[in-house]
């Protein structure tokens, strides 16, 4: 076993991160994605790894990958023909949703059309009560009639989401049995399998997304497995998950919902790993691509998790690393409104035609063009030579706005960047307020193609003192897949008071969850190392309508110790909301268990520090902070640990450009990170 | 505009960041579940004069964009750094519009000068008074609606004013909640202050001050451009609340919209006299009071969602609001349930604008469904349960661009429901059905949105249900441009049994074990002739369970048989019913309103308005009821106002004490 490979397959590029376990060297590679023939890009990459680095496919002992196939299936609406079976009387569950519309100020605002069209929703005669007792048994004839109607109407997948199925899945399973008999070719998704948690809309919409992507993701994983085998890779294919972990890809075929947001999640896991190694505990991960900036909050080294994260138009309620997507990326277009105000986005030039400076037919000025006009780009090839930079095209595009603004070309370019930064400032201010955090105590960890380009300017606006650019900023999502743990989440809705009786109920759930989790880890994953089990409870004060996830000790549940559990909740409530109410009765809505198993981590060795000032590869003329300046241009590959740099400077590398404005100093740390700090 | 447009755009983003951060701070640290559930709160930044220049849009109530704090601000003689003021008195400063809303404002100083205020409100679950939650249609004076704090400093130079706080908290039912929420408001104001100071540091004081003025001008210029795009004209419209008090007479709200160039006038003459129930809207005669302009802000923003939301928008409009009427009541008229009249006014405003721009606006928004709470006893634990179950909302009206939204939307798009599973676990009820109300949509080429529909059962004796804002049992949401009115709302106890009770607009009731309630929201109005609706769209609604075959035939002349649309039968029916050249007028008002207006013609109502306006305010409601009762008793009352005037004269003779003041 000689090397580990992690791949992140995006819409345009496929990123590879390769760890040579003998030398400890981390290699990266980008190839063009081949959406029409999934697997081909991976085969190309494996061949190139062999060619470039001499690492044979047979030497690959670990192969993880993340993919956007599931997300794109939803965004492009190219998934299954869904039918939905609900409890009779509740067929409008997806239409009514939680009522709130996307933009309540707009009287025409509407919720997106559900993935299961209402005419293919069938109410089934059955009824489960809140305590899990069956009030009305499943009417088999009803189910058979619904299957026949759904089949006649072209459905290929049936999602079954019945009331109170979190409490007792028997009726859903019985329905599945009847469907299997009546229409064995039908794919069936049960809400109690996908994520058995109370709140019917949330469980149902999550299940429809799961059902919608199931066949496509399964096919895709199948072709990838075949491609790997063909390439001579014998390692079992692993897949990254939205919870920041990994699992056997084989399981992704039946449980694809857990993989949907793995791309952004792995980036955050990669960012957290980089931050942890250098002892930065509070970090904003800042991943900027062509159309959006993805920001995540990492506190005390731990990424924040969320539910209701969006996949295309739909929220999904499985544990997901929480990422806020801001509609501003390198391709966002600048324009002027009817009142002379300069705006940036939300329209984006995307990857085709892309910014004008990519020379692929784009004519309107994108953020990347503004950077090009300022002379800040073009010091090196972009995207491993995939595109070349056309500065004149950028100038033309930016110049189109200059007259209306009454500004010079470069002032216009800088204005575009300042407006775009202020838009990001707005969104990140909201995010920080939501967390009750002060950005000034955070570091900004920048990656993605356009993150390092804008990070320092954003840091200045937010009052953030430190920016970190990891050695391989273009492939941090892939890197996250290289170092992720095997991880899975389990949940039981309990809905009990925090008292002796409640804890007795909880104990029963805990035993079940533990058995389920260990079975998953040992039998399904074949993991033999130490199992880590973390129990948390979704708790609230009686009368509240929202819960806070609080870590609880298994031993306290078993021993029926109320006090430590209550105290943990009061403390968590105070941490989240700034107040707690130790007198108020507490309820436990859900019990959760996270099981994880550590995979061997790359053993990075710190570099040898020099105290030399970095050597530039040249000088470039730039325009920044309202003035023409000369800046040093550095090649990232030639920078050594301990090298120091002073802004203004530009650092170029294969997959991105880092801009260090005046007033910032930088150095390469012992792990090879470019650490940029604002002068006090 | 004084500062450059690039800096202004950047400043705009910073001011919004400040307002949004305030909202998140408030939402995060508020104590009451009500605030978290309903987001009935606002935050913002105003100029020293009280004009709001920054408003959050991600969180909070949608109703108070551009609220002017000026009159309340000026009621405090002197400000010092660290002061925070508050009021929940609807009759002091006219910033608060019903007593549950506690408004606060904090001066922000720069080198000794006030450069801005950070402001906001929270709807408190209870502020004392005659009934729990402080809101009831039955209340007749603001004194019954809870403790009122006129503008006062709750913090003086950063020090808590314990006396004022104690007086407030001594008069409310759950003081911990009010105090907890007030602390969250204070935290939000402090966040706003910090952000303003950061902006001043970032942009410089002069740029900040000028920029804030420019942001108001910018919103105004945007609003004017939208108005200029609408045709000049005078567009009168009226709508009704079913009852002006419990079991009362219909209550008319009248709006004459005048569009001239880039200016608007809202003339409310003809709206009912102030009510002896709590649905009055306290506006203090402020001709730009935002409570009257919510519908306008909705319309302008929806016509162009790039509109920057602040007080500048309100500069395009001026209201004419006669004193002593429901839209400008005099002290001490009760105001707690002004939510219901506000809702009606939003729709009324949409309807008036629809005349000006029939292809850009829509039929009536769905309305009349209640906000529901259940108070019962858990049979297992014996514990008393108070739980908010669903707000019964409905969708937006049909419009040229397509059908209305179903279940929610228009001016009710900010509300959230409670999951069925949570209701069953927490509220001690069983839900038998929750979804969209069949056949509730106003028919049209593009139909209106459907209302929501719920059936639930109680299991304990004496289960109390409150249903605030019940309406539209009688008068339904109008259709436009050939579209038809939406369905009425429903509130029925034990439907389809021999002990069925139609609860109509009741807002509080008791259920016994086994009792079932069926409640729906009225549907939204349609747009365009339903005979021109694509039969396939009707069929799809049928397959979706939203339209019955009978309704498809009656309303759309689409005949649906076993295998789908019966095309020959549909063609024949449509041909038979087609009435080319027939003009039914711009609105379809629904049969009950047509019947009502056959008696209460414009001439009659105008006569009534004129007569009542001549009376002292405290006689008007009484006199209206007397005249309504007398007209109802008449076999064929005159339609030209003569009978109304005659009845009024008779009243003056009956009550000679009225004569000396009648001329006022």
What is the C-alpha end-to-end distance of chain B, expressed in Å? 46
Q: Helix, strand, or coil here: B367? A: coil
**pLDDT tens digits, one per residue of B595-638:** 999 999 999 999 999 999 999 999 999 999 999 999 999 999 99
From chain A, pick out residues whose CB is under 8 angstroms from the CB of B413.
99-101, 103-104, 106-107, 109
pLDDT score at A454: 95
Work out the burial of residue B234: count CB atoms within 10 Å of its CB; fewer than 13 is exposed, 13-18 middle, 19 or more buried.
middle
Say yes or no to pLDDT of B662 above 50: no
Residue A103 has its nearest CB partner, among B23, B305, B545, at: B305
From chain A, pick out residues whose CB is under 8 angstroms from the CB of B23.
433
Work out the burial of residue A605: count CB atoms within 10 Å of its CB; fewer than 13 is exposed, 13-18 middle, 19 or more buried.
exposed
Looking at beta carbons, which pairs linking A18-27 to residues 24 or more positions away fall under 8 Å?
A: A18/A49, A18/A53, A18/A55, A19/A482, A19/A602, A20/A53, A20/A55, A21/A61, A21/A602, A24/A602, A24/A603, A24/A604, A24/A605, A26/A471, A26/A472, A26/A479, A26/A602, A26/A604, A27/A52, A27/A53
| pLDDT bucket at B23, cuts 50 / 70 / 90 | very high
In contact, A602 and A21? CB cutoff 8 Å? yes
Cα–Cα distance, B414 to B343 (Å, whole number): 13
Closest alpha carbon within chain B to A103: B413
| pLDDT bucket at A1, cuts 50 / 70 / 90 | low
CB contact under 8 A, B5 and A340: yes
CA-based nearest distance A628→chain B, Å: 20
From chain B, pick out residues whose CB is under 8 angstroms from the CB of A407.
6
Work out the burial of residue A282: count CB atoms within 10 Å of its CB; fewer than 13 is exposed, 13-18 middle, 19 or more buried.
middle
pTM score, whole prediction? 0.94
Cα–Cα distance, B238 to A580 (Å, whole number): 49
CB contact under 8 A, B21 and A407: no
The lowest-confidence range among A200-209, A524-533, B471-480, B639-648 is A524-533
For chain A, positions 499-518, list CB contacts with chain B under 8 A. none
CB contact under 8 A, B543 and A432: no
**pLDDT tens digits, one per residue of A359-410:** 888 899 999 999 999 999 876 554 445 567 899 999 999 999 999 999 999 9
Q: What is the ipTM of this complex?
A: 0.96
**pLDDT tens digits, one per residue of B576-585:** 998 776 677 8
SS3 for A221-232 is: HHHHHHHHHHHC
Averaged pLDDT, A224-252:
91
Which of A107, A127, A155, A167 is best to mutate for the B interface (most B CBs within 10 A)? A107
pLDDT score at A39: 83
How many CB atoms sit inside 10 A of residue B99's CB?
27
Alpha-carbon distances of B649 from B364, B536, B628, B652, rounded to whole Å: 37, 58, 14, 5
Instruction: Give the DSSP letter string of A569-612.
Output: HHHHHHHHHS---TTS-EEEEEEEEEEEEPPPPP-PPPPPP--P
Averaged pLDDT, A312-336:
92
Residue A100 has its nearest CB partner, among B57, B410, B415, at: B415
Phi-psi region of B164 (alpha: psi -120 to 50; beta: other; left: phi over 0): alpha
Residue A430 has its nearest CB partner, among B21, B425, B543, at: B21
The structure tokens 């020379």 sit at A359
Averaged pLDDT, B92-100:
96
- Mean pLDDT of the residues in chain A: 92
CA-based nearest distance B218→chain A, Å: 8
Eight-state DSSP code of residue B244: S
Cα–Cα distance, A129 to A136 (Å, whole number): 9
CA-based nearest distance A160→chain B, Å: 16
The structure tokens 């290289």 sit at A482
**A495 touches B at CB < 8 Å:** yes
In contact, A8 and A31? CB cutoff 8 Å? no
CA-based nearest distance B606→chain A, Å: 31
Between A502 and B32, the higher pLDDT residue: A502
Averaged pLDDT, B542-561:
97
Cα–Cα distance, A446 to A658 (Å, whole number): 9
Averaged pLDDT, A230-234:
90
Cα–Cα distance, A189 to A192 (Å, whole number): 9
Say yes or no to pLDDT of A253 above 50: yes
CB contact under 8 A, B29 and A579: yes
Cα–Cα distance, B663 to B78 (Å, whole number): 42
In contact, B338 and B280? CB cutoff 8 Å? yes
In contact, A105 and B301? CB cutoff 8 Å? yes
From chain B, pick out residues whose CB is under 8 angstroms from the CB of A429.
17-18, 20-21
The structure tokens 């983003």 sit at B13
A353: preceding bond cis by omega (within 30 degrees): yes
Cα–Cα distance, A2 to A476 (Å, whole number): 21
**Rounded to the nearest 5°, which phi and psi values hold at A2?**
-120, -30
CB contact under 8 A, A579 and B309: no
How many CB atoms sit inside 10 A of residue B116's CB?
28
Q: Helix, strand, or coil here: B654? A: helix
Handedness of CA A352, A358, A360, A365 (dihedral sign): positive
Cα–Cα distance, A363 to A393 (Å, whole number): 8
**pLDDT tens digits, one per residue of A80-124:** 999 999 999 999 999 999 999 999 999 999 999 999 999 999 999
Say yes or no to pLDDT of A657 above 60: yes
Domains in chain A, please, with CATH? 3-74+217-259 (3.30.420.40), 76-211 (3.40.50), 279-405+446-472+608-680 (no CATH), 486-597 (3.30.1490)
**A529 touches B at CB < 8 Å:** no
Closest alpha carbon within chain A to B224: A339
pLDDT score at B378: 85
**pLDDT tens digits, one per residue of A452-473:** 999 999 999 999 999 999 998 9
Between B131 and B151, the higher pLDDT residue: B151
**pLDDT tens digits, one per residue of B240-283:** 999 999 999 999 999 999 999 999 999 999 999 999 999 999 99
**A128 touches B at CB < 8 Å:** no
What is the C-alpha end-to-end distance of chain A, expressed in Å? 48
Eight-state DSSP code of residue B243: -
| pLDDT bucket at B661, cuts 50 / 70 / 90 | low
Q: Helix, strand, or coil here: A29? A: strand
CB contact under 8 A, A341 and B5: yes
CB contact under 8 A, A100 and B413: yes
In contact, A209 and A257? CB cutoff 8 Å? yes
């Amino acid at each position: 076993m000689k090397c580990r490979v992690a791949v992140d397959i995006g819409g345009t590029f496929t990123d590879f991160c390769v760890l040579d376990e003998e030398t400890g060297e981390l290699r990266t590679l980008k190839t063009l994605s081949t959406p029409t023939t999934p697997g081909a890009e991976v085969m190309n990459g494996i061949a190139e790894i062999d060619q470039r680095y001499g690492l044979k496919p047979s030497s690959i002992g670990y192969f993880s990958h993340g993919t956007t196939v599931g997300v794109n299936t939803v965004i492009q609406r190219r998934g299954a023909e869904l039918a939905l079976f609900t409890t009779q009387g509740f067929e409008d569950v997806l239409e009514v949703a939680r009522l709130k519309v996307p933009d309540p100020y707009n009287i025409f605002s509407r919720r997106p059309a559900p993935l299961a069209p209402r005419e293919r929703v069938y109410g089934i005669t059955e009824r489960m009560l809140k305590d899990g007792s069956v009030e009305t048994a499943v009417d088999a004839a009803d189910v058979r009639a619904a299957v026949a109607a759904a089949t006649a109407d072209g459905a290929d997948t049936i999602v079954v989401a019945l009331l109170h199925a979190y409490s007792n899945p028997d009726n859903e399973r019985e329905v599945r049995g009847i469907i299997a008999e009546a229409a064995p070719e039908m794919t069936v998704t049960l809400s109690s399998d996908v994520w058995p948690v109370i709140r019917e809309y949330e469980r149902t919409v999550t299940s429809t997304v799961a059902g919608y992507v199931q066949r496509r993701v399964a096919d895709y994983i199948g072709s990838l497995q075949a491609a790997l085998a063909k390439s001579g890779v014998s390692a079992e294919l692993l897949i990254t998950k939205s919870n920041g972990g990994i699992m056997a890809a084989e399981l992704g075929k039946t449980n694809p919902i857990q993989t949907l947001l793995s791309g952004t999640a792995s980036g955050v896991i990669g960012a957290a790993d980089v931050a942890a190694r250098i002892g930065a505990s509070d970090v904003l991960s800042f991943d900027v691509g062509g159309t959006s900036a993805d920001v995540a909050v990492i506190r005390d080294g731990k990424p924040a998790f969320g539910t209701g994260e969006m996949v295309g138009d739909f929220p999904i309620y499985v544990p997901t690393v929480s990422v806020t997507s801001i509609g501003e990326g390198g391709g966002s277009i600048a324009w002027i409104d009817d009142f002379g105000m300069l705006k940036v986005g939300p329209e984006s030039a995307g990857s085709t035609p892309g910014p004008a400076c990519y020379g692929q037919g784009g004519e309107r000025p994108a953020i990347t063009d503004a950077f090009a006009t300022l002379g800040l780009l073009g010091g090196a090839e972009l995207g491993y030579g995939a595109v070349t930079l056309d500065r004149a095209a950028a100038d033309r595009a930016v110049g189109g706005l200059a007259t209306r603004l009454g500004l010079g070309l470069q002032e216009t370019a800088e204005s575009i960047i300042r407006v775009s930064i202020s838009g990001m400032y707005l969104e990140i201010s909201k995010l920080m307020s939501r967390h009750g955090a002060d950005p000034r105590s955070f570091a900004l960890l920048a990656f993605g193609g356009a993150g390092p380009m804008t990070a320092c300017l954003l840091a200045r606006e937010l009052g953030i003192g430190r920016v970190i650019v990891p050695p391989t900023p273009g492939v941090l999502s892939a890197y996250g897949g290289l170092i992720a743990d095997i991880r899975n989440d389990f949940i039981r809705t309990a809905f009990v008071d925090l008292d002796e009786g409640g804890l007795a109920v909880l104990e029963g759930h805990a035993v079940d969850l533990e058995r389920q989790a260990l079975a998953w880890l040992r039998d399904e994953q074949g993991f033999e190392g130490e199992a880590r089990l973390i129990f948390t409870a979704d708790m609230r004060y009686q009368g509240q309508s929202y819960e806070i996830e609080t870590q609880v000790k298994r031993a306290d549940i078993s021993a029926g110790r109320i006090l430590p559990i209550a105290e943990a909740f009061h403390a968590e409530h105070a941490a989240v909301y700034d107040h707690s109410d130790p007198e108020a009765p507490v309820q436990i809505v859900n019990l959760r268990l996270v099981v994880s198993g550590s995979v061997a981590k790359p053993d990075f060795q710190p570099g040898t520090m020099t105290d030399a000032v970095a050597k530039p590869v040249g000088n470039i003329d730039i325009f920044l902070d309202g003035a023409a300046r000369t800046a040093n241009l550095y090649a990232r590959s030639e920078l050594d640990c301990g090298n120091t740099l002073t802004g203004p400077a530009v650092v170029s590398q294969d997959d991105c450009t880092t801009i260090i404005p005046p007033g910032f100093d930088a150095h390469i740390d012992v792990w090879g990170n470019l650490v940029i700090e604002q002068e006090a | 505009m004084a500062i450059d447009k690039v800096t202004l755009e950047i400043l705009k983003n910073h001011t919004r960041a400040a307002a949004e951060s305030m909202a998140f701070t408030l939402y995060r640290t508020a104590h009451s579940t009500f605030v978290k559930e309903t987001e009935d709160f606002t935050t913002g930044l105003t100029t020293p004069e009280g004009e709001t220049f920054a408003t959050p849009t991600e969180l909070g109530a949608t109703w108070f964009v551009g609220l002017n704090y000026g009159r309340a601000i000026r009621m405090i003689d002197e400000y010092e750094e660290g002061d925070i003021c508050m009021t929940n008195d609807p009759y002091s400063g006219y910033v608060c519009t019903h007593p549950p809303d506690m408004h606060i404002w904090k001066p922000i100083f720069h080198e000794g000068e006030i450069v801005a205020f950070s402001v906001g409100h929270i709807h408190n679950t209870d502020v004392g008074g005659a009934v729990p939650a402080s809101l009831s249609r039955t209340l007749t004076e603001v004194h019954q609606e809870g403790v009122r704090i006129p503008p006062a400093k709750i913090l003086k130079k950063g020090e808590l004013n314990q006396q004022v706080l104690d007086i407030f908290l001594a008069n409310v039912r759950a003081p911990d909640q009010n105090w907890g929420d007030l602390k969250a408001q204070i935290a939000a104001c402090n966040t706003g202050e910090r952000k303003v100071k950061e902006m001043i540091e970032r942009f410089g004081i002069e740029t900040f001050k000028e920029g804030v003025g420019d942001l108001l001008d910018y919103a105004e210029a945007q609003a004017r451009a939208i108005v200029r795009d609408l045709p000049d004209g005078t567009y009168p419209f009226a709508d009704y609340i079913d009852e002006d008090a419990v079991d009362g007479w219909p209550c008319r709200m009248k709006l004459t919209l005048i569009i001239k160039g880039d200016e608007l006038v809202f003339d409310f003459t003809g709206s009912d006299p102030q009510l002896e129930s709590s649905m009055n809207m306290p506006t203090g005669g402020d001709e730009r009071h935002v409570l009257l302009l919510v519908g306008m802000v909705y319309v302008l923003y929806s016509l162009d969602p790039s509109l920057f939301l602040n007080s500048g928008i309100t500069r395009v409009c001026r209201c004419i609001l006669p004193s002593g009427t429901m839209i400008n009541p005099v002290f001490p008229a009760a105001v707690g349930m002004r939510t219901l009249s506000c809702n009606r006014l939003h729709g009324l405003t949409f309807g008036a604008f629809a005349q000006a721009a029939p292809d850009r606006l829509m039929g009536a928004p769905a309305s009349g469904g209640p906000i529901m709470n259940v108070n019962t006893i858990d049979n297992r634990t014996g514990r008393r349960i108070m739980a908010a179950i669903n707000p019964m909302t409905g969708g937006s009206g049909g419009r040229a661009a397509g059908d209305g939204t179903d279940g929610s939307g228009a001016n009710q798009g900010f509300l959230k429901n409670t999951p069925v599973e949570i209701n069953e676990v927490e509220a001690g009820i069983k839900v038998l059905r929750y979804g969209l109300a069949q056949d509730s949509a106003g028919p049209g080429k593009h139909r209106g949105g459907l209302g929501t529909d719920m059936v639930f059962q109680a299991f304990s004796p004496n289960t109390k249900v409150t249903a605030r804002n019940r309406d539209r049992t009688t008068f339904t949401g109008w259709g436009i441009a050939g579209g038809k009115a939406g369905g009425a709302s429903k509130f029925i106890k034990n439907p389809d049994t021999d002990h069925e009770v139609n609860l109509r607009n009741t807002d509080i009731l008791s259920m016994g074990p086994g009792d079932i309630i069926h409640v729906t929201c009225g549907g939204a109005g349609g747009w365009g002739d339903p005979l021109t609706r694509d039969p396939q769209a009707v069929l799809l609604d049928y397959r979706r369970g939203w339209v019955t075959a009978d309704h498809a035939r009656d309303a759309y002349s689409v005949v649906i048989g076993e295998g789908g649309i019966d095309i020959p039968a549909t063609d024949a029916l449509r041909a038979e019913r087609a009435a080319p050249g027939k003009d039914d007028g711009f609105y379809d008002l629904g049969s009950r309103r047509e019947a009502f207006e056959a008696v209460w013609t414009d001439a009659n109502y105008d006569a009534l308005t004129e007569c009542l306006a001549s009376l002292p305010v405290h006689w008007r409601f009484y006199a209206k009821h007397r005249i309504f009762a007398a007209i109802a008793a008449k076999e064929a009352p005159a339609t030209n106002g003569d009978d109304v005037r005659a009845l009024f004269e008779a009243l003056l003779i009956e009550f000679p004490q009225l004569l000396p003041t009648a001329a006022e």
